[in-house]
Amino acid sequence: MYSEDPKKIKLSKKTPHKLFTLHPHSGEYNIIEVNGTRIRDKEDNTPDQIAVNTGWISKPGQQSICLSHRLIITIKSSNKSTTPDNSLVKP
């Protein structure tokens, strides 16, 4: 499933807990869970389970990728600051 208008979800402390299911192709599914400031691929039917094992993501720049279903969840900041988040850089 390729979408020119990807689903965008605002993550904040006020974002309610929500589950929704994506069906990228016939017979494929990803159950996405949103809870406040974090999001994850809770369950899918891929053999490798990489996105599921990634777990919760919540910081700008973090991604959860399900290659076989062509699903990428990316955290983007609404803050226009150009200052890098050094917590993501490990020496």
Domain that holds residue 66: 1-77
Residue 2 — very low, low, confident or very high, per pLDDT cuts 50/70/90? very low
Specify the number of domains making up the chain. Answer: 1
Tell me the whole-structure pTM to 2 decimals. Answer: 0.79
Residue 61 — very low, low, confident or very high, per pLDDT cuts 50/70/90? very high
pLDDT at 3: 52
Q: What angle do CA 88, 74, 59 make, to 5 degrees?
A: 35
Residue 85 in domain = no
Name, in order, each residue with C-beta under 8 angstroms of 63's C-beta and a sequence gap of 6 or more.
Answer: 57, 72, 73, 74, 75
Domain containing residue 35: CATH number? 2.60.320.10
